[in-house]
Chain A
Amino acid sequence: MSTRHRSFRNLLNATAQYHCHCHEVGFNADEAHNIVKECIDGVLGGEDYDQNNINQWTANIVEQSLTHVVKLGKAYKYIVTCAVVQRSAYGFHTASLCFWDTTSDGTCTVRWENRTMNCIVSVFTIAIVL
């Protein structure tokens, strides 16, 4: 009788913790900003623009950013975009517009540059309602 009561209480506690986790509102942009910046530094830091490797680098940046952001453990769907431009005298514009729920969804954009290239990484997060 007592063991059954204890296991039921454990189950209640487990579900209560689970629900508390879901009520964390909003997207923490600063955390994502740091994570993405570290990923870019790791892949592109100290490199010069190279036509042969740029494909590999973009893929690495996006995949690493995605895996690290997922490790935060929040219930989100993620979209990560990366644009790498060779540094030149020529112009480049980017705009993004989102139609979503502003209380639960968010975005974070990181701009990074070195001597030979500019890199813009955007992370969009859309909440999953569990």
Chain B
Amino acid sequence: MMMSEIAKDRMARSVRKRGSVSSLNGREFWQKELHGNTKKNTVSFTDEPSQRDNASRLTVQMENTYQLGPTKHFPAVIVNHILKDVLTNYLQEEQYEPELCRQMTKTISEVIKTQVKDLMIPRYKLIVIVHIGQLKSQSILIGSRCLWDPKSDTFSSYVFRNSSLFALASVYAVYFE
């Protein structure tokens, strides 16, 4: 009777510990699960997922897909419309302000990323870049070059201007073989 109560107590404690953990990277979470199941009282600490930790993990070996190319290509035209809509909606009436535009770049890139992800194009990695600047008489030039497979990878970009600011959003899509 006593033993089962102690065991139950330990299980409850380990469950509570699991519950309090919010954002771990995958490996540490599974370690906690294992310890809970074997009823051992362990103390483990979590650290921020750092570059060092990730690099020490072995590369994941992916199974061969035997596909020569993407089954569904990245729709650059649809993404262009997405960029136009997002930029126009967020920036149509805005004036250039340093703090506002700093937040805007981050929010806009998040919004674009979620909308492109909702298109559910499989096996594509995305890079979203947003530039916002004050529209005055200064000069600016933005350029990019890519080394990739042009049959499967592509990009899409859109420039938005209003009376006080300009914004450039570009999305690069790289196929993951």
Q: From the candidates B136, B144, B147, name the one contacting A77 in the complex (CB within 8 A).
A: B147
Among the stretches B31-39, B86-94, B102-110, the one at the interface with A is B102-110
Rank and list the top 10 A-B pairs by shortest CB-CB distance, nearest first.
A95-B105, A26-B55, A81-B144, A88-B138, A97-B109, A99-B126, A92-B133, A90-B134, A100-B125, A78-B147
Answer whether residue B59 sits at the interface, using C-beta atoms and an 8 A cutoff: yes
Within 8 Å by CB of B54, from A26, A59, A78, lies A26
- How far is it, in angstroms, between the C-alpha of A6 and the C-alpha of B56 when the chains are bound? 35
Number of A-B contacts (CB under 8 A): 154
- B121-135 vs A, Cβ < 8 Å mask (1 yes, 0 no): 000011111111110
- B136–A94 touching, CB < 8 Å: no
Instruction: Point out the residue from B112, B128, B134 that lies within 8 Å of A92, measured CB to CB.
Output: B134
In the complex, given contacts A59-B143, A83-B143, what are 20 additional A-B residue pairs having Cβ atoms less than 8 angstroms apart? Answer: A22-B59, A23-B59, A26-B54, A26-B55, A58-B143, A78-B146, A79-B127, A79-B144, A79-B147, A81-B142, A81-B143, A83-B141, A84-B140, A84-B142, A91-B133, A95-B130, A97-B106, A98-B125, A100-B125, A129-B176
Question: Is B62 among interface residues, defined by CB-CB distance under 8 A?
Answer: yes
Contact of B133 among A23, A90, A126 (CB under 8 A): A90
* A26-B51, A55-B141, A82-B144 given; A99·B117 CB < 8 A: yes
Asked if A44 is an interface residue, CB under 8 A from chain B, the answer is: no
- Residues of A near B101 (CB, < 8 A) are 91, 93
- B60 contacts partner chain A, Cβ-Cβ < 8 Å: yes
Known A79-B127, A93-B102: A102·B54 in contact at CB below 8 Å = yes
Chain A interface size range: 35 or more
- The answer to whether B6 has its CB under 8 Å from any CB of chain A is no
CA distance A95 to B58 in the complex (A): 30
Residue of A nearest to B143 (CB): A58
Asked if B148 is at the interface (CB within 8 A of a chain A CB), the reply is yes
Cβ of A49 under 8 Å from chain B: yes
Query: How close is A47's CB to chain B, nearest CB, in angstroms?
Result: 14
Bound together, the chains give a CA A78 to CA B98 distance in angstroms of 31
27 contacts between A and B (CB under 8 A): A23-B59, A25-B59, A58-B142, A62-B144, A70-B147, A78-B148, A79-B127, A79-B148, A81-B129, A81-B143, A83-B141, A83-B143, A88-B137, A93-B104, A93-B132, A94-B131, A95-B106, A97-B109, A97-B129, A98-B126, A99-B126, A99-B127, A101-B176, A102-B54, A103-B54, A124-B127, A124-B172
